[in-house]
Amino acid sequence: MKKNQKYLIFQVLFVLTVHLGQPTYSHAQSKSTPIVNAAFEGKVVDQVNGNPIVGATVKLQGVTHSVQTDSHGNFQFITGQKLPATVIVSFLGYQSQTVEITSPKSIIKLLPTASNLDEVVVIGYGTTKKQDVVGAITKINAGEVNKIPVASFDAQLQGKAAGLQVVANSGVPGEGIFVRVRGTTSINSSSDPLYIIDGVFLNNTSLQNANLGGRTTSPLADINPADIESIEVLKDASATAIYGSRGANGVVIVTTKQGSYGAKTKIDFNLSNGFVQADKSTLPHLASGPETAALANEWWINSGIDKPSLNQNFSNRPFRPVNEGGRGLPEEQQTYDRLDFILRNGRVQDYSLGIQGGGNKSRYYIGTGYTDQEAFFKVIDFSRANFKFNFDQQLNERIKIGITSNIARTKRNQARTGDGPQVSLWNSAVSSATYTATHDQEGVATGSDNTYVLVDNYDVNTLSLRYIGSVFAEADILPGLKFRSSFSADYNKYDENQYWNTNTSIGKANNGQATSGISENTTWINEQTLNYQKQFNSVHKITALVGNTLQHNTLNYLYAEGNGFANNSYKLISSASTRTSSQDWTAYSIASFFGRAGYQYSDKYFAEATLRADASSKFGKNNRWGYFPAFALAWRLKQEDFLKDVNWLNDLKIRTSYGITGNQSGISNFASRGLWSGGSSYADVIGSPLPGIGPQQLGNDDLKWETTAQYNVGFDAELFKNRLSITLDVYDKYTSNILLQQPIKTSSGFSQYWANVGEVSNKGYELTINSVNIQNQNFTWKSSFNISGNKNKIEKLPTQITQYTRDWVILKEGQSLNSFWLYEQLAVDPKTGNAIFDGQLEDGTVPVSARKIMHNAYPKFYGGLNNSFSYKSFDLSAALSYQFGNYTLNLERYFRERNPTSGGVFENVLNRWQNDGDITDVPRLTSIGNNYTIDQNSRYLEDASFVRLKQLSIGYTLPKSFLSKARISNARIYFLGSNLFLWTKYTGDPESNVTSNPNAQGLGSFGTPPQPRSFQLGFNLTL
Q: What is the pLDDT of residues 915-932, one digit of tens each?
A: 999 999 999 999 999 999
**Side chain identity at residue 626, one-letter code:** G
Query: Tens of pLDDT along 526-537?
Result: 999 999 988 888
Tell me: pLDDT of 119 over 50.
Answer: yes
| Confidence band, pLDDT 50/70/90 cuts, at residue 22 | very low
183 contacts 242 by C-beta, under 8 angstroms: no
Half-sphere exposure of 927 (CA within 13 A, CB side): 18
Residue closest to 426 by CA, chosen among 1005, 1019, 1021, 1018? 1005
Tell me: pLDDT of 685 over 70.
Answer: no
Query: Tens of pLDDT along 833-870?
Result: 999 999 999 888 999 999 999 999 999 999 999 999 99
Structure confidence at residue 12 (pLDDT): 39
Query: Tens of pLDDT along 544-588?
Result: 999 999 999 999 999 999 999 999 999 999 999 999 999 999 999
As a whole number of angstroms, the distance between CA 398 and CA 394 comes to 8
Structure confidence at residue 93 (pLDDT): 64
Distances (CA, A) of 493 to 143, 192, 470, 556: 30, 22, 18, 10
Weakest-pLDDT range from 177-191, 210-224, 742-756: 742-756
Structure confidence at residue 8 (pLDDT): 40
| Confidence band, pLDDT 50/70/90 cuts, at residue 35 | very low
As a whole number of angstroms, the distance between CA 803 and CA 993 comes to 14
Distances (CA, A) of 543 to 361, 635, 806, 964, 978: 27, 17, 56, 46, 44
As a whole number of angstroms, the distance between CA 482 and CA 323 comes to 92
| Confidence band, pLDDT 50/70/90 cuts, at residue 34 | very low
201 pairs with which residues across the strands? 196
**β pairing state of 85-90 and 57-60:** antiparallel
Residue closest to 372 by CA, chosen among 426, 413, 425, 406? 413
| Confidence band, pLDDT 50/70/90 cuts, at residue 62 | low
As a whole number of angstroms, the distance between CA 893 and CA 342 comes to 20
**What is the sign, positive or negative, of the torsion defined by CA atoms of 44, 50, 54, 55?**
negative
Query: Tens of pLDDT along 284-317?
Result: 999 999 999 999 999 999 999 999 999 999 999 9
SS3 readout for 943-995:
ECCEEEEEEEEEEEECCHHHHHCCCCCEEEEEEEEEEEEEEECCCCCCCCCCC
Structure confidence at residue 51 (pLDDT): 73
As a whole number of angstroms, the distance between CA 680 and CA 449 comes to 38
Tell me: pLDDT of 420 over 80.
Answer: no
As a whole number of angstroms, the distance between CA 444 and CA 69 comes to 79
Contacts of 1015 (CB under 8 A, 6+ apart): 274, 275, 276, 277, 975, 976, 977
Query: Tens of pLDDT along 799-829?
Result: 888 888 889 999 999 999 999 999 999 999 9
Structure confidence at residue 80 (pLDDT): 62
| Confidence band, pLDDT 50/70/90 cuts, at residue 675 | confident
Tell me: pLDDT of 766 over 90.
Answer: yes
Structure confidence at residue 77 (pLDDT): 80
Structure confidence at residue 795 (pLDDT): 94
Structure confidence at residue 144 (pLDDT): 74
- Mean pLDDT score of the chain: 86
SS3 readout for 73-113:
CEEEEEECCCCCEEEEEECCCECCEEEEECCCEEEEEECEC
As a whole number of angstroms, the distance between CA 614 and CA 626 comes to 5
**Tally of helices (H runs) and strands (E runs) in the chain:** 10, 51
**Side chain identity at residue 881, one-letter code:** S
Structure confidence at residue 168 (pLDDT): 86
Question: What dihedral angle (degrees, nearest 10) is formed by the CA atoms of 221, 222, 226, 232?
Answer: -70
Length in residues, the chain: 1023
DSSP 3-state of 466: strand
Residue 970 vs residue 118, higher pLDDT: 970
108 pairs with which residues across the strands? 44
Structure confidence at residue 37 (pLDDT): 57
As a whole number of angstroms, the distance between CA 367 and CA 465 comes to 17
pTM: 0.85
Read out DSSP for 496-553?
Answer: EEEEE-TTSHHHHHHTSEEEEEEEEEEEEEEEEEEEEEEEETTTEEEEEEEEEEEEEE
| Confidence band, pLDDT 50/70/90 cuts, at residue 81 | low
Query: Tens of pLDDT along 868-926?
Result: 999 988 999 999 999 999 999 999 999 999 889 988 999 999 999 999 999 999 999 99
Torsions phi, psi for 401 (to 5 deg):
-125, 160
Weakest-pLDDT range from 34-43, 228-237, 508-517, 711-720: 34-43
DSSP 3-state of 622: coil
Considering only CA atoms, give the Rg of the chain. 32
413 pairs with which residues across the strands? 381, 461
| Confidence band, pLDDT 50/70/90 cuts, at residue 192 | confident
pLDDT, mean of residues 205-215: 83
Weakest-pLDDT range from 4-18, 454-468, 599-613: 4-18
Weakest-pLDDT range from 86-95, 458-467, 775-784, 906-915: 86-95
As a whole number of angstroms, the distance between CA 512 and CA 564 comes to 5
389 contacts 403 by C-beta, under 8 angstroms: yes
Residue 563 vs residue 683, higher pLDDT: 563
383 contacts 410 by C-beta, under 8 angstroms: yes
Q: What percent of the chain has pLDDT over 90?
A: 50
Structure confidence at residue 112 (pLDDT): 67
Torsions phi, psi for 124 (to 5 deg):
-60, 120
In this structure, the number of other CB atoms found within 10 A of the CB of residue 509 comes to 14
Query: Tens of pLDDT along 695-735?
Result: 777 778 888 888 999 999 999 998 888 889 999 999 999 99
Torsions phi, psi for 280 (to 5 deg):
-60, -20
Tell me: pLDDT of 21 over 50.
Answer: no
Structure confidence at residue 6 (pLDDT): 44
Q: What percent of the chain has pLDDT over 70?
A: 94
Question: What dihedral angle (degrees, nearest 10) is formed by the CA atoms of 918, 919, 923, 925?
Answer: -30
Tell me: pLDDT of 760 over 80.
Answer: yes
Read out DSSP for 626-657?
Answer: EEEEEEEEEEEGGGSHHHHT-TTEEEEEEEEE
As a whole number of angstroms, the distance between CA 681 and CA 557 comes to 22
